[in-house]
Amino acid sequence: MNKSLIKKIAAIALTAVIAISGTSAVLSSAQTSANASAKSQTIKYSGKVPKYVFLFIGDGMSYPQFQSAANYLAIKAGAKTEIDGGILDGSRKLGFMNFPVAGSATTYDSSSFTPDSASTATSIATGYKTYSGSINVDETKTIKYETISEKLKKQLDYKIGIITSVTLNHATPAAFYAHQASRNDYYEIGAELITSGFDYFAGGAISGNAGNDGTSPDLYKLAENAGYKVITKQADAAKLTANDGKAIVIAENLADSQALSYEVDRPETEWSLRDYVKKGIEVLDNSKGFFMMVEGGKIDWACHANDAASSIHDTIAFSDAVDEAIAFYNQHPDETLIVVTGDHETGGLTIGYAGTDYDTYFQYLQNQKISYAKYDRDYVAKYVENKTKFTDVLKDVKDLFGLVTADDPSAGENPGLVLSDYEVKQLRDAYEITLATSLAGTYVSNTSGDRYLHYGYQSKPLTVTITHILNHKAGVDFTSYAHTGIPVAVFAQGAGQDLFSGYYDNTDIYKILAAITGVK
């Protein structure tokens, strides 16, 4: 039998398996639907069912992330403090912070008080707790839960859109269409994306496209066979209309880990998260209604790396995407619901640092011109390759992050950004470790103890040391390279908004959405 025929048979067989697994998910969720209905019955709603539902999830975003972004914008707009000889105006808010209803949600899962994105997104999408790392399955990993988006598609015939700044089969977006014991089963999650029948996917790539063995049928080809229009050029995305049917839109210029660019790195000509939301509204709008889940996924990634400036820029980009939904709401105020929340907090970000006492200097973060990821890729990699002199490295640190040595001619222009002798030593030590581990083929993520405490696992030791120093000079700090267990905010505007007030669990977000839309 020739190879091409074998591949065709494999593709047909896999498509059948995918279809069967999609069916089993529905059957399994049916076994638990009675319990889900019983839970949702505790929340009563007699108002109008919203025709358009937006759910925005800032991955890793809690109070510190959006408040630091608001503070940054206030200072950028000219707010002064006593230090500057003025009176601080800290009233600047991101758009969603002005919503009429605000609540708080706890985020613990079946494993931990510091949960992961798979389990917390499962709670939001289905109303059930599960173990960290699992997507829409119970703790035995044998029962599958039906999601709010699947129910809206099946019961109300809403069009469904899933948009993210990271990969389309990453944990949070996956929680609205997939059912897997492990969030790392990217190929299987990608296969469920296809069989979901959802109408619009947009953002990063579908990772793990060829499966773990590298021989599985191409998911993009399977998607096209299933009726999806797969778009990888921005110009083609701009031309997309509702008449084109189901679509998967992949960013033309993918950045780290096949995601969208960090906002601080994004060229003006490149689509932002807001652009994908705007296009989504255009192609999803119809007489029956739609549900759109939008994730700001790189807020989380930036906080894992302790990169405060990148976190702030991506939080602002996330807020800009919400603003697009607000503009739509203003046209359809009686038919629309917008909910904005986070799945968990990442990094233990705090506004305040021992080294700056009661003062903060968010203006210093304006000096960072590049994300940690781009600096790692475009600069640190070359340092390692060329064994660049430390003095030359410091020139880039000045240009890209604004940090200068005491003997630099510009040191007097902004004393707050002058490196102390101790900080220069920190940078030098981190650079030497970066060179040594990179040249030896070892990585910080494979170490433990003091090195991990100093440098984490998301970026090179040099890079995270630079961001740590800049963060501290700005008066902000992180306690972790992982997630934390603090509650997240929930903001709501539109039909059923009042049900989102109070202090509750993240599973209640699903219950409230189910009550408002009437799905069972």
Binding-site members for Mg(2+) are 59, 170, 172, 295, 344
DSSP-derived secondary structure letter, 378: I
- Position 204, amino acid: G
Burial class of residue 443, CB neighbours in 10 A (0-12, 13-18, 19+): exposed
Cα 393 from Cα 387, distance rounded (Å):
10
Burial class of residue 78, CB neighbours in 10 A (0-12, 13-18, 19+): exposed
Q: Which of 117, 119, 216, 371 is catalytic?
A: 117
- Position 133, amino acid: G
Annotated binding site for Zn(2+): 59, 300, 304, 343, 483
Report yes or no: 292 and 277 within 8 Å, Cβ to Cβ. yes
The residue among 365, 268, 349 whose CA lies nearest residue 313 is 365
CB neighbours of 200 closer than 8 A, spacing ≥ 6? 159, 160, 161, 162, 163, 246, 247, 249, 280, 283, 284
Burial class of residue 43, CB neighbours in 10 A (0-12, 13-18, 19+): middle
Cα 120 from Cα 172, distance rounded (Å):
8
Q: Which residues face 139 on adjacent strands?
A: none
Report the run of H or E that residue 276 belongs to, with start and end: helix 273-284
CB neighbours of 187 closer than 8 A, spacing ≥ 6? 208, 209, 210, 211, 212, 216, 219
3-state secondary structure string, 179-212? CECCCCCHHHHHHHHHHHCCCEEEECCCCCCCCC
Annotated binding site: 59, 170, 172, 295, 300, 304, 343-344, 483
Clarify whether 117 is annotated catalytic.
Answer: yes
Report yes or no: 346 and 60 within 8 Å, Cβ to Cβ. yes
User: Which residues carry out catalysis?
Assistant: 117
